[in-house]
Amino acid sequence: MKPLMLQGHQRAITQIKYNREGDLIFSSAKDSKPCVWYSLNGERLGTFNGHIGAVWCVDVDWMTTRLITGAGDMNTFLWDVETGTALGKIPCNSSVRTCNFSFSGNQASYSTDRAMNHPCELFVIDVRNIDASISSADPVLKLTMNEQQSKITSMLWGALDETVITGHENGSIRIWDLRAVKELNSVNDHTASITDMQMSSDGTMFVSSSKDCTAKLFDSDTLMLLKTFKTERPVNSACISPLLEHVALGGGQDAMEVTTTSTQAGKFDSRFFHLVYEEEFARVKGHFGPINSMAFHPDGKSFATGGEDGFVRIQVFDSSYYDHTFE
C-alpha cells in the first residue's frame, strides 16, 4: 500500500493528532499554521491562521468541535474546528509547549516553558463557553514547577479528569491531583528528556518516549513501569495500537545532527514493537528526517507520522500485518 503524503507545511511537523472518529488529522508545525486534513485521502481541509510563531502543540476535543494550539509566540489559541475561526486567545509569559483537552472536553490544560525569568507553569482552564474574555480570565488552576522538577515537555490527562500526568526535561514523569493541587507521585525511569507521551485507547496505561533511546510503558494510575522498548537512537514519539498489542516508535537523531542521509540509511524508520514481548518485528521507511510525532488511527488499521521534513505520511497496513503472530 502506497502511503499518502500530506504536503502543506513549509517547516518541520511538531505534532499530529487524529480526532476521535479518525476521519480528520490535525497537524502543527514550525510554520505557524496548524492544518486539518482528511485522513482517508489526504486532502487538506484548511488551516487555522492566527499564530505568528512555531506551533508546538495541538489537540482536538472529543466532539471535534474545538481545537487548542500553543505556540512559540507565547499564545494559546482556541479554535472552532468547523469554521477555523479563533474563539479565544490566551497570552502567556513564555512559549507554550504542551496543550490538551480533558476527556470530558470541559477543561483544557497547557504548560509554558521556563524562560526570561518566568518559571515553567501548568494551567488548567475552563473551556465550556469560550469567548474573547478568556484572554483575561483567571485559570481554574495554576501549578508552578520548581528547579528540580524541570520543564514540562509533554502532558496527558489522567482518569476521570482528576489528574494530569506530566513528562519533564530531566526524564521524570509526575502525576498531579488537580483537586488537592498536589503531586501524587513521580518516577525517574527515563534518564533523558521525555519527548512524547500517549495513552492507550482504554486509558489504563501510557507509553512515553525519550531522548535516552527508549520508550517505556507505564500504568497510568500508579506510574508503575511495565515495559521498556530499546532502540539505538533518540525516540521522538511513541504510540500504542488500539487494535493489536503493538507499540510504534519514531525518531532519528536530533534535527541539528542530521546530515544529508538517504531514506535507505534506515535512521528515520517507524519501528513496531510487540507490547508484551518487547521485540521489534517491523520497520517502515519513508521520511527524509527524524520523525517528530506519530499516531495510530483510532481503528488501528493505519498510522500517521509527521517528520522534520515537513511531510505527514499516512500508511495503511497490509493484510499481512494482521496475520503476523509471535512464535
pLDDT value at position 258? 58
Average pLDDT of the chain, as a whole number: 93
pLDDT tens digit string along 96-122?
Answer: 999 999 999 999 999 999 988 999 999
pLDDT of 260 higher than 60: no
pLDDT of 38 higher than 70: yes
- Report the CATH fold assignment for 4-321: Methylamine Dehydrogenase; Chain H (2.130.10)
pLDDT tens digit string along 55-95?
Answer: 999 999 999 999 999 999 999 999 999 999 999 999 999 99
Task: Report CA-CA distances (Å) from 195 to 182, 257, 305.
Answer: 23, 17, 15
DSSP state of 33: -
Contacts of 70 (CB under 8 A, 6+ apart): 55, 56, 57, 76, 77, 92, 95, 96, 97, 98, 99, 110
pLDDT of 297 higher than 60: yes
- Whether the model clears a pTM of 0.85, i.e. scores above it, the answer is yes
pLDDT value at position 131? 87
Of 18, 75, 79, 15, the closest CA to residue 47 belongs to: 79
Q: Are 20 and 61 in contact (CB under 8 A)?
A: no
Binned at pLDDT 50, 70 and 90, residue 267 comes out as confident
Q: 162 exposed, middle or buried (CB, 10 Å; 0-12, 13-18, 19+)?
A: middle
Q: What cell numbers appear for 139 in the block? A: 485559570
Q: Which amino acid is at 265?
A: A
pLDDT mean over 161-185 = 95
Binned at pLDDT 50, 70 and 90, residue 261 comes out as low
Contacts of 28 (CB under 8 A, 6+ apart): 13, 14, 15, 16, 34, 55, 56, 57, 58, 69
Instruction: Report the 10 Å Cβ neighbour count for 283.
Output: 12
pLDDT tens digit string along 134-148?
Answer: 888 899 999 999 888
Q: Where are the domains of the chain?
A: 4-321
% pLDDT > 70, the chain: 95
CA distance 101 to 109: 6
pLDDT of 265 higher than 60: no
pLDDT value at position 2? 84
Of 154, 61, 56, the closest CA to residue 102 belongs to: 61
pLDDT value at position 255? 57
CA distance 181 to 196: 24
pLDDT tens digit string along 207-243?
Answer: 999 999 999 999 999 999 999 999 999 999 999 999 9
Binned at pLDDT 50, 70 and 90, residue 162 comes out as very high
